[in-house]
Amino acid sequence: MNEALGWGRRYLMCPPSYFGVLYEINPWMHREVTVDRDAAQAQWEGLRTALVEAGAEVEILAPAAEVPDLVFTANAGVVNANQFVPSRFRHPERQGETGHDAAWFRSRGFQISELPEDVCQEGAGDALPFGNVLLAGYRFRSDAASHAYLSALTGAAVRSVELADERLYHLDLTFCPLDERRAIVAPLGWDRYGRRVVEALVPEPLVLDDDDALAFCANSVVVGRRVVMPTCPVRVGRQLEAWGFEVAVCPVGEFLKAGGGCRCLTLALDVTLAAPVPSADLH
Amino acid sequence: METEIVEVSGHIIDSLILAKVLDLILEAGADYRVVDVEIGRANRDPSRARVEISSPDRASLDRLLEQLQVHGANRVALRPAMVAACDQDGVLPAGFYSSTNLDTRVLTDDGWVPVDNPEMDCAIVLSDHRARTVPMHRVRVGDAVVIGMEGVEVAAPSRPRGTNPFEFMASEVSSEKPKALLVAEVARRIGAARARGGRILAVCGPAVVHTGAAPDVARLVREGWVDVLFAGNGFATHDIESNVLGTSLGVSVQQGIPTEHGHANHLRVINEVRRRGSIAAAVEDGFIPSGVMYECIRRQVPFVLAGSVRDDGPLPDVVTDMVEAADAMRSHLGGVSVALMLASTLHAIATGNLLPAGVETYCVDINQAVVTKLADRGSHQALGIVTDVGLFLRDLVGELCG
């Protein structure tokens, strides 16, 4: 069996007290669709419980009325050990979240490293560690130019992937690291160069077909050997089980109305991107 | 053709971003030249590439630039060249930009300014919205000298490509080429340059006289195919000696046999010219009856005779201060578009150092090393023709003068 992920045991979540579809910034959002806030609360609790049952710790970020999407903590920023790089949101509607996110991390003793103001980067939603690199998406929400800065700030080796399908507007809708060699991948979301980059990166991919990708199968949370998923098609479930994973389906339909799944509602706090490596220059 | 430089950095190799950017450029019908690439040594190290994009028109270039920006490739913001004022005559500010002989332009606050007179190994001085090369010894206190490389753009020399054997052989040196073909082509190019209003420079070594080719050069001057002549004391002396006494270094040019006490012939000739004060005066009073120098005086073709440490005499017209000599040569280069380097090593190299790369330069010498040396010193435009200069000139006169 492969080595399990070295991260994914501690998460940050934000209760959906003020969650609603109040604006439209992705193809999934429609203001005429109302969110059942009670159902949303229940689904969110369900997810938190599933994570805790899987063995994870969950920390809570206090919700704020003016920023309904604060629930999607995956977009708060990029965590690297005790360093936090706050997001630079593309849309003004979400830019107000950064202050809340940064304040929480600062209060927990994280060192805050800022990206330049002229680039957008939407946190772990567009940057997931795999193996010894950080796979980073760009186009809809994050700028390709942010990747060099992200690398400079964190020391991570970045692999950039262009997102090609607006419905899969964040990398975490197309990619889910499972362990050291495996990941759930949705090639629908990438251009041909991005597909080749992921192909070279992931030795054993679990490839989603287009329907499964659009059902946000890749927007799952992995805690050790448990995969907490918004939905799990039979074929995907069988493959995961064959690899020794347990699947926990955790419906988050109210959040899908805003274009977010399980992963979007969580931010892993125990990620270390650039483990010190011996210098190649040692004589 | 419109061009811009974009820069892209990060893990652009493993992420295939550089590949994608280059593909996008080609797919857009534009072309690229990678200006420089720094590739990270380890997996974690970022890389950086600067790519020059050329596109047939501005609108499509702008569209492409916008497209490339998505992938993190941003236009490199060019800054005007830095300038420092000279604080000592003949001494450049530290960090001065050292010029090439290629077409060069400088970005100033008023936009791009072309360098008037490209010359290698000079400084670039800006004044009155103009840029010119100035040799070190000629800068004066207060001159605005370009510092560093930023804001200076050098046009890459375009290598002729084609099926024409002459173009194919351009910049190569060989004794194995069909000479008649080359001479005909040189003649055609001289004719074409002349038709465009270009001036023709001849640089002559003493071997031109020794090989008996001086009458051919004299004819070229007489018939208007030479607009300016550079040579040394030796060439002028032997030209005059052969026309006054019929010998070159004491050897009869006609019979090829040494004449009695002929070793002093050139000194006697120099002495007589010195007595008259100048070559022009010696022509006027009939002492010099014919020859290359005679024709130059008669046709008012300017010449510069640059001396050297081993000169006899020298002739009164020889400039013995080397800095002055180089300046005198510079002053005659305006409008020159063809340079013929005829069996001359030192004067050919000295001239090559002064010429812009755009001047068609033909270096004729029996010794391949001379031609190679010229190219090695930066005169890459020189086409070497390895042959006896006498044979070359006879054929050239045949082509040009019929």
Residue B131 within a domain: yes
Query: Hey, what are A78's tokens?
Result: 């990029």
Same-domain status, B144 and B211:
no
As averages over each run of 10 residues, the pLDDT of chain B (402 residues) reads 89 92 94 89 87 91 90 85 96 94 90 92 94 96 93 67 42 60 90 93 95 95 97 96 88 81 90 97 97 97 95 96 96 94 91 91 87 74 85 94 86
Residue among A118, A104, A58, A71 nearest A261 (CA): A71
Same-domain status, B119 and B70:
no
Residue B324 within a domain: yes
Residue B160 within a domain: no
Considering only alpha carbons, which residue of chain B is nearest residue A278? Answer: B42
d(CA B317, CA B281): 11
CB-side exposure of A200: number of CA atoms within 13 Å? Answer: 14
Q: What is the CATH number of the domain that holds B187?
A: 3.40.50.10690
Which residues on B lie below 8 Å from A161 (Cβ)?
15
Q: Do B41 and A133 touch (CB under 8 A)?
A: no
The number of distinct structural domains making up chain B is: 3
Tell me which of B119, B154, B189 is where a domain ends: B154
Same-domain status, B70 and B89:
no
Query: Hey, what are A84's tokens?
Result: 């936090």
In the predicted model, what is the mean pLDDT of chain A?
93
In this prediction, residue A3 carries a pLDDT of 81
* Domains of chain A, earliest start first: 10-268 (3.75.10.10)
DSSP string over B265-333 = HHHHHHHHHHHHSSHHHHHHTTSS-SSHHHHHHHHT--EEEB--TT-SS--TT-B--HHHHHHHHHTT-
Do you know the residue count of chain A?
Answer: 283
d(CA B171, CA B154): 20
B77 inside 8 A of chain A by CB: no
A133 inside 8 A of chain B by CB: yes
The position carrying tokens 């090559």 is B352
* Distances from the Cα of B128 to the Cα of B78, B125, B144, angstroms: 21, 10, 10
The position carrying tokens 């490839």 is A207
B10, B41, B43 ranked by CB distance to A160: nearest: B10
Q: Do A139 and B70 touch (CB under 8 A)?
A: yes
Same-domain status, B171 and B246:
yes
- Please name the residues between 45 and 74 in chain B that touch chain A, using a CB distance below 8 Å: 46, 70-72, 74
Residue B228 within a domain: yes
A182 inside 8 A of chain B by CB: no
Same-domain status, B32 and B12:
yes
Cα of B15 to nearest chain A Cα, Å: 5
Q: For chains A and B, what is the number of CB pairs under 8 angstroms?
A: 69
Same-domain status, B217 and B352:
yes
Q: Determine the structural domain holding residue B374 and report its residue range.
A: 165-401
B20, B44, B46 ranked by CB distance to A274: nearest: B44
Residue B330 within a domain: yes
Taking only the tens place, the pLDDT of each residue in A108-134 is 999 999 999 989 999 999 999 998 899
The position carrying tokens 């051919």 is B216
B44 inside 8 A of chain A by CB: yes
Same-domain status, B188 and B134:
no
Burial class (CB in 10 A: 0-12, 13-18, 19+), B11: buried
Tell me which of B21, B50, B75 is where a domain ends: B75
Measure CA B317 to chain center: 24
Residue B159 within a domain: no
Of A147, A170, A176, A262, the catalytic one is A170
In this prediction, residue B1 carries a pLDDT of 81
Q: Quick check: is A100 catalytic?
A: no
Percent of chain A at pLDDT above 70?
96
Same-domain status, B189 and B125:
no
- Residue of A159, A166, A191, A281 to mutate for B, most B C-beta atoms under 10 A: A159
Taking only the tens place, the pLDDT of each residue in A33-73 is 889 999 999 999 999 999 999 999 999 999 999 999 999 99
Do you know the residue count of chain B?
Answer: 402
In this prediction, residue A94 carries a pLDDT of 95
Same-domain status, B107 and B235:
no
Q: What is the CATH number of the domain that holds B22?
A: 3.30.70.2690
d(CA B276, CA B45): 76
In this prediction, residue B162 carries a pLDDT of 38
Same-domain status, B173 and B261:
yes
* Distances from the Cα of B349 to the Cα of A108, B103, B123, B264, B387, angstroms: 73, 20, 20, 29, 18
B43 inside 8 A of chain A by CB: yes
> Is the ipTM of this structure higher than 0.90?
no
DSSP 3-state of B1: coil
Same-domain status, B65 and B177:
no
Considering only alpha carbons, which residue of chain B is nearest residue A146? Answer: B72
- Residue of B9, B11, B20, B27 to mutate for A, most A C-beta atoms under 10 A: B11
d(CA B102, CA B115): 10
Same-domain status, B42 and B184:
no
- Residue of B16, B20, B39 to mutate for A, most A C-beta atoms under 10 A: B16
Q: Quick check: is A264 catalytic?
A: yes
d(CA B393, CA B391): 6
Please check whether residue A44 is in contact with residue A51, taking contact to mean a CB–CB distance below 8 angstroms. no
- Give the dihedral sign, CA B27/B28/B30/B36: negative
Tell me which of B57, B75, B93 is where a domain ends: B75
Residue B110 within a domain: yes
3-state helix, strand, coil in chain A (%, to 5): 30, 25, 45
Query: Hey, what are B35's tokens?
Result: 């200006």
B10, B16, B19 ranked by CB distance to A148: nearest: B10
Cis peptide before B314 (omega within 30 of 0): yes
CA angle B159–B165–B166, rounded 5-degree value: 60
Query: Hey, what are B339's tokens?
Result: 């340079």
